[in-house]
């Protein structure tokens, strides 16, 4: 009986550590990149080799707990026509500079696990996905995509204060 109680107590403590414990390793790694400054070499140093060998401006890295996607700059401002108007796209940063980084967990979890507060975020439903909503904060440069109240994606993108680097 005593062994059972000790085992259950250990299980409760372990579970609470998972819920309220330290920041997950994947999140620490994501936060160690500096958007619009870190390079592809930095991403590889932090996350390891990309999932496939094709050098691409969008690369995926498999980590314990999920998948990281890193978008790099092409190094060029691109002009496209949208609704009859010329629009510049891209960032005024060198080629292979990290533009944004996203995480998709293997197992979705509630935002409370990371003590996420959506105060200051705007939200909108994803019209073609039932029970899906996106929370965005341009000032912070963070987006959370949830389905049925659980995290589907977390994206770090350039915050408003770096908008001067956006092609115009």
Segments making up each domain of the chain, as ranges: 22-165
- Residues 136-161 have pLDDT tens digits of 999 999 999 999 999 999 999 999 99
pLDDT at 9 over 70: no
Can you read off the two tokens belonging to residue 96?
């292979």
Q: 21 pLDDT band (50/70/90 cuts)? A: low
Q: 52 pLDDT band (50/70/90 cuts)? A: confident
In a 3-state reduction of DSSP, which class is residue 56? coil
- Residues 56-89 have pLDDT tens digits of 999 999 999 999 999 999 988 888 888 998 888 8
Residue 23: predicted pLDDT: 87
Q: What are phi and psi of 161, to 5 degrees?
A: -65, -15
In a 3-state reduction of DSSP, which class is residue 78? strand
Closest-CA residue to 145 (of 137, 136, 153, 155): 153
DSSP state, residue 131:
T
pLDDT at 6 over 50: no
Q: 15 pLDDT band (50/70/90 cuts)? A: very low
Residue 1: predicted pLDDT: 39
């Amino acid at each position: 009986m005593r062994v059972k109680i000790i085992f259950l107590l250990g299980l409760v403590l372990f579970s609470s550590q998972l819920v309220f414990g330290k920041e997950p390793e994947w999140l620490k790694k994501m936060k160690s990149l500096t958007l619009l400054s870190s390079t592809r070499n930095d991403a590889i140093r932090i996350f390891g080799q990309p999932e496939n060998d094709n050098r691409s401006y969008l690369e995926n890295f498999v980590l314990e707990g999920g998948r990281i996607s890193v978008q790099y700059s092409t190094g060029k401002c691109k002009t496209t026509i949208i609704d009859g108007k010329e629009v510049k796209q891209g960032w005024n940063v060198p080629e292979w500079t990290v533009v944004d980084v996203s995480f998709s967990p293997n197992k979705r979890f509630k935002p409370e696990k990371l003590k996420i507060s959506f105060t200051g975020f705007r939200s909108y439903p994803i019209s073609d996905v039932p029970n899906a909503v996106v929370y965005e904060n341009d000032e912070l440069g963070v987006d959370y995509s949830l389905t049925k109240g659980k995290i589907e994606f977390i994206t770090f993108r350039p915050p408003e204060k770096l908008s001067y680097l956006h092609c115009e």
